[in-house]
Amino acid sequence: MPAAAPTSDLANVADAATTPSAVEVRGLVKRYGEVEALRGIDLTVNTGERFALLGPNGAGKTTLFSILATLRTPTAGSARVLGRDVVTERDAVRRELGIVFQEPAIEQRLSGRDNLLLMGLLYGLPTAAARRRADEILTQLGLAESAGRPAKNLSGGQRRKLELARALVTDPKILFLDEATLGLDVDARRGFWSHVRGLAATGRTVFFTTHYMEEAEVADRIALIDAGRIVALDTPRALKARLGGGVIRLKTDDDAQARTWLTGRGFATDADAAELMLVHADPAAVLPELLRHLPVKVLRAEVHEPSLDDVFLKLTGRGFGSEHASAPPGGGRGGPNGRGRP
């Protein structure tokens, strides 16, 4: 019957309209005494999305993560996870979540396998099912070989993967990760994220915080957070496109004079600590001209596609990768930390 197709299409539309977002945050404020760690956060994370919260130390990432994970309560505003309120429907929210903290949550003296078994039993699985689940995840994350050893004897990268494994025992719809790879070397970080990518490919929502630019690049969308505010929220590509061109970075023997000269010729320059940065629609074309005419000695010149670092610098006036921590007025305890364990 020809009428059947439109009917099912309509059903799909209705479905889409009623399916709650993975995360919905409105006007969220968090104060710790004098410190305003979150100053009115609004964001929506779609189901199945990989969403990164990227910002320097002290920006408010762990605070937002902890509120979404129901471990802290907001001062004002609201947050919902899969349509449920993190304050009034806390237990329901918790059942949907897998959480990886910045600090270890696994029991270091137990083996990886026993850690997962324990988690499964705590979650209420029968022993045989908990064993099956543990083995399934260990294999999936490439930990089957090492899972018999006490966790404390594993490498840093393996231990972090075990944290991820622990979060997966309950087969959560959403994974929350707070600086999950802090302190790992680049290879171990890549290994970790390749697994997270695989998990997202199965339709899980992944919400993660990081202060590593290159980690945020794996996200579908990124919220840049600085001093308790979202300063930009978009796809990595769109964020970089906001700069409106490519980037030239220069190091000269007199950057102050170079800046004055450039500004006088209509170039917008941004300075981070060590060098001059300018954005131009066609940097490769303009660079030879600059090198010929600049009244200072150029020690180094570099042209590159815009990075998230450039975007952050442009938006906040501060470099990112370096130790330019942003502390809200009132000071506080900067630095990455794992206050957020239950």
Within 144-173, which residues bind ligand ADP (CB under 6 A)?
A: none
Q: How far is the CB of 29 from ligand ADP (least distance, A)?
A: 12
Q: How far is the CB of 20 from ligand ADP (least distance, A)?
A: 25
Q: What would the DSSP string read from start to end of 140-178?
A: HTT-TTTTTSBGGGS-HHHHHHHHHHHHHTT--SEEEEE
Q: How far is the CB of 225 from Mg ion (least distance, A)?
A: 11
Using the contact rule CB under 6 A, the part of the chain among 54-62, 81-89, 142-150, 285-293 near ligand ADP is: 54-62
**Is residue 62 a contact partner of residue 341, using CB atoms and an 8 Å limit?**
no
x/- mask, Mg ion, residues 45-64, rule CB under 5 A, reads ----------------xx--
Is 328 a binding residue for ligand ADP by CB under 6 A? The answer is yes
3-state SS, residue 50 = strand
Instruction: Tell me how far the alpha carbon of residue 89 is from its chain's centroid.
Output: 25
How many CB atoms lie under 10 A from the CB of residue 84?
Answer: 20
Close Cβ partners of 285 (under 8 Å, ≥ 6 residues apart) = none
Which of 62, 205, 252, 307 forms a contact with ligand ADP (CB under 6 A)?
Answer: 62
Of the pair 321, 336, the CB lying nearest ligand ADP is at: 336
Query: What is the spatial distance between Cα 212 and Cα 309, in angstroms, rounded to a whole number?
Result: 10
Of the pair 257, 322, the CB lying nearest ligand ADP is at: 322
Query: What is the spatial distance between Cα 203 and Cα 244, in angstroms, rounded to a whole number?
Result: 33
Which entry of ligand ADP, Mg ion, none binds 332, CB below 5 to 8 A by partner kind? ligand ADP
Of the pair 70, 111, the CB lying nearest ligand ADP is at: 70
x/- mask, ligand ADP, residues 25-44, rule CB under 6 A, reads -------x--x-x-------
Binding-residue total with Mg ion (CB under 5 A): 3
Query: What is the spatial distance between Cα 60 and Cα 229, in angstroms, rounded to a whole number?
Result: 8
Q: How far is the CB of 99 from ligand ADP (least distance, A)?
A: 15
How many CB atoms lie under 10 A from the CB of residue 291?
Answer: 11
Within 310-339, which residues bind Mg ion (CB under 5 A)?
A: 336
Of the pair 211, 221, the CB lying nearest ligand ADP is at: 211
Instruction: Tell me how far the alpha carbon of residue 82 is from its chain's centroid.
Output: 19
Which entry of Mg ion, ligand ADP, none binds 327, CB below 5 to 8 A by partner kind? ligand ADP
Binding-residue total with ligand ADP (CB under 6 A): 19
Q: Of the candidates 233, 215, 216, which has an alpha carbon nearest to the alpha carbon of residue 224?
A: 233
Q: What would the DSSP string read from start to end of 77-116?
A: EEEEETTEETTTTHHHHHHHEEEE-SS--S-TTSBHHHHH
3-state SS, residue 210 = strand
Buried b (16+ CB within 10 A) or exposed e, 106-144: beeeebbbbbbbbbbeeeebeeeebbebbebbbeebebe
Which of 22, 52, 61, 215 forms a contact with ligand ADP (CB under 6 A)?
Answer: 61
Q: How far is the CB of 105 from ligand ADP (least distance, A)?
A: 17
Of the pair 152, 339, the CB lying nearest ligand ADP is at: 339
Which entry of ligand ADP, Mg ion, none binds 48, CB below 5 to 8 A by partner kind? none
By the criterion CB under 6 A, which residues form the site for ligand ADP?
32, 35, 37, 55, 57-63, 327-328, 332-334, 336-337, 339
